[in-house]
Amino acid sequence: MDLKFKLKKTCSCGGRLGEFETKWGKHKTPMFMPVGTQATVKTLSPEELVDCGSDIILANTYHLWLRPGEDIVDLNGGLHKFMNYSHGPILTDCGGFQVFSLAKPKDISEEGVKFKSHIDGSNLFLTPEKSIDIQNKLHSDIIMSFDECPPYPATHEYMKNSVERTLRWMKRSLDAHKDRENQAIFGIVQGGEFEDLRRYSAEETVKMDFDGYSVGGVSVGEDPETKLRMIEYATPYLPKDKIRYLMGVGEPIDLIDGVIRGIDIFDCVLPTRLARHGNALTHDGRCNLRNAKHIKDLGPIEDGCSCYACKNYSKSYIRHLIVAGESFGQRLISIHNIYFLTHLMDEIREHIEKDDLLEFREEFVNRYNKKNW
């Protein structure tokens, strides 16, 4: 699938204003993707996602392979029909992150990875060919090549061998992909914290001519400064006319910093994970709605927010739901958090257009870091 990515503007700090096209329409970048791990964004309907401003989601290959199985999704006509999501594209990851968290180093071979199912402990084996076959049967719009997700920290020697294996696995992924007309495929840049390996991985991956490129191996336990360096070591060697995707990043300040370093697309479970613990994202930092100070607060989660939760319910009511263990409370905060991140991306695009993204970052950080309440 030709995503027809158009780079409309690059601001002086490096932020990119763009647009890509799928059969579902045109999609503005930079953008944030909510994560629907098991073919659902936890507690939200597809219609609610649209109301939150989201027009693309991520689904997880590993979890859908184990349950219900790719053949069941295929029988239903693919993910879009299976989950009644007809509002925009779906991206699937390769399953590697979950697999490598379950595998031991000795179980990684040139052929693939052996590991035990987290559901029943059964022995499983995932290869680049199998990962692509699963994603073909899921009928997502964008699929990911299979990569090795190395641990952090790792030695330069370990990481070099890992990068080389990932390059071979990505070539096998391309060879196995049978539906490139309907499914775009992204390559993944690895290399850990090492500048020379990030550059080598990026340059060799670009030679394979993927439809887009992801910066992987980020948000795996490294400190914030190292995270930014990992991105900086990779993006200068990625083509300007292809999408750049940063995997697993969703903290608001990280989104701004990623955009400044040339990233177009982000995904993370953060907004729904925070909601399950009663935490809401606001411009004034995280709001813990379990706190007793909100018992009599009749105001919305955030003044000026136009999400469904803020237009209709008070912090007092939502706190009651969270403390009482009612799932509706998690749902309302999830709606708010996803709305917050999708509209933060709107703000970022606006400031790229104005070429004052650095000034916006400074103002946002000063306010966001002021308090957690």
Active site residue ranges = 93, 267
Residue 201 · residue 191 · CB < 8 Å: yes
Which 8-state DSSP code applies to residue 120?
T
Residue 16 · residue 259 · CB < 8 Å: yes
Rounded Cα gap, residues 85 and 220, in angstroms: 30
Cis status, amide bond into 300, omega within 30 of 0:
no
Q: Of 157, 198, 173, 61, nearest to 112 (Cα)? A: 173
Exposure b/e, 84-103, CB count within 10 A at least 16 = b? ebebbbbbbbbbbbbbbeeb
Measure Cα distances from 86 to 46, 181, 185, 227 in Å. 8, 19, 20, 35
Angle at 111 between CA 107 and CA 114, to 5 degrees: 30
